[in-house]
Every structure is written in structure tokens, then in C-alpha cells.
Amino acid sequence: MTLGPNGWLAALDIDGTVLHEDGFLSPAVRKAVQAADARGNEVMLATGRSASSTTPVLAELGVLPRFLVCSNGAVTLERDESAPGGYGRARVETFDPSEVLTTISGSLADAHYAVEDAEGHFRYTARFPESAVSPGSEVVPFEDLLAVQATRVVVISPNHATEEFLGVVEQMGLQRVSYAIGWTAWLDIAPDGVNKATAMEWVRSRLDVPIERTLAIGDGRNDIDMLEWAGRGVAMGQAPSDVIAAADEIARAVRDDGLARVLDTLP
């Protein structure tokens, strides 16, 4: 559906917002997404997932927005029928991950590390969740990660509780990179100054939508910048307190179809 003259730009996080923790998509959410799209709103995904694990969710939802934000803002896709999967890379931000990887490995020796490159290819040191890596990914020695120009670095520390992991990361004093911590002991690191909000602002300017007609909804710490950026930022009901504090509103939890209820309020 084409963005209407008074349509909203709606940025949806995937995991914990569109999908339940087990990957389930509620029929009510699918219906609400399609209905909001049909009313002339641009309903798109803005996720920490790689491009290859984002487009299948879009297919489940049954909409075709012009843009998709992936890899926490480092990769923005634009609809292109000639490209594989119907979307091509419109904007890609990369950085040299060697310094940050060396710093983190000194404090988290037992962690699992992965680097995603500009083409969405993952190299990782130990097993990662399937939703986090793309087809064709490969296990490599840690040293091989240092030479890749990265769109993001992902760190999982199975031996740390979330709050303990937060403390360790804060003590590292990471600089010249942007990072966000997930629900579990999961750290996403992006190029400096790059996040979902910076990518969404780029999309907003391309679509020429006023900031007051922007909606963002999410449940994770990597959504905080985006919630603060949006004219209307909505935190899912199960989100941590710091995510809720960044939002203008609180939706019901993902298991209560919180996203559907928010989208139903769009014109």
C-alpha cells in the first residue's frame, strides 16, 4: 500500500513486539499490521536481526513497506523487485571491530562472539541462536573476526545473569561504538552513532513524513533511542523499566497482542 498523504510511519521491533519469544505470530497482530497498511500507513520493521532473518517475518506479516531497518540501524533495505528477496541494501554503515572485540574479550573470556559484514554474512566463534545468524554463516577462530569490516558485533555471555552482564559492560568504558544490551546477556555493538533511531530518521526524511506522525514500538534496550526519537514511542508491557521510561506510552504485553491494539489506533 502506498503511504497516504496523512499516513503515519510506524517502526516495529520484531522479537518481543511482533513475535512472541518462541517466534509465534499472533493472527491478531498480522491482521492489525495489514489493516494499518491498507489505511495508508507505512508499517515497517526496525530490528536487530540481520536482513536475511528479517524478510521472512515480513512475508509472514503480508505487507511490503518501502524500507526495512536491520542490524540495529547499520543496514537499511529498500524495496527492489530485481534484488534477491525483493529488497536491496540502500544504506550500510560499517566499522573496524578489532579494538572493541579485543577490549571485550579481556573481560569476557568465555563469551561467544559474532561479526556481521556488509553483505549480512556472519562469522562467529561458537554456537549462536538460529534467528541471529544468516545462511552461509561460518564458525571461525576469534582472531579472524578482527579483520572484518562489521555492521555489528554480537556478544553472548551464557555464564552471566543479565544484571551482572550489564555491570561488566558498563565497566568496560566502550567508546566510538554504539551498543545496546538485550533481555539476556546479549550485547549488540554498532558503528559509532548508529542505532535504530538514526536509521529511522533517514527513512523518515526519504518518505517526507513529519516527526509528529511517526510511531515506534519495541520492548528491548536497543529500542530506547528509537522510542525517544519517535513522535509517539510505545514500550511493550513486558519491557524492562528503562525501556518503559523512554516511551510515551505503555502497550499491553506481546502475549496480550499489545502491538495490535496500538496499530488499531492509527488513522
CATH code assigned at 64? 3.40.50.1000
The arithmetic mean of pLDDT across residues 169-190, rounded, is: 70
Tell me which of 132-136, 186-190, 230-234, 247-251 is least confident.
132-136
Residues 73 and 130 in one domain: no
Helix, strand, coil tally for the chain in percent (to 5): 35, 25, 40
- What Rg, from alpha-carbon coordinates, does the chain have? 18
The arithmetic mean of pLDDT across residues 12-33, rounded, is: 96
Q: What pLDDT was estimated at residue 133?
A: 59
Grid cell of 211 as nine digits: 516527526
Residues 75 and 25 in one domain: yes
When the pLDDT of each residue in the chain is averaged and rounded to a whole number, the result is 89
Q: Which neighbouring-strand residues pair with 227?
A: none
**67 domain residue, yes or no:** yes
Residues 80 and 201 in one domain: yes
Residues 88 and 105 in one domain: no
Is residue 254 within 8 Å of residue 25, measured between CB atoms?
no
Phi, psi of 190 (to 5 degrees): -120, 170
Residues 209 and 77 in one domain: yes
- The rounded distance, in Å, linking the Cα atoms of 142 and 253 is 38
Number of neighbours of residue 194 by Cβ within 10 angstroms:
23
The DSSP element (H or E) to which 31 belongs, if any, is helix 27-38
Grid cell of 161 as nine digits: 545473569
Residues 107 and 49 in one domain: no
CATH number of the structural domain spanning residue 165? 3.30.1240.10
Query: Among 172, 191, 210, where does a domain finish?
Result: 191
Q: What pLDDT was estimated at residue 77?
A: 97
Residue 177 is part of which domain span? Answer: 98-191
Query: Among 168, 191, 214, where does a domain finish?
Result: 191
**2 domain residue, yes or no:** no
Is residue 14 within 8 Å of residue 53, measured between CB atoms?
no
Give the CB-side neighbour count of residue 87, counting CA atoms within 13 A. Answer: 28
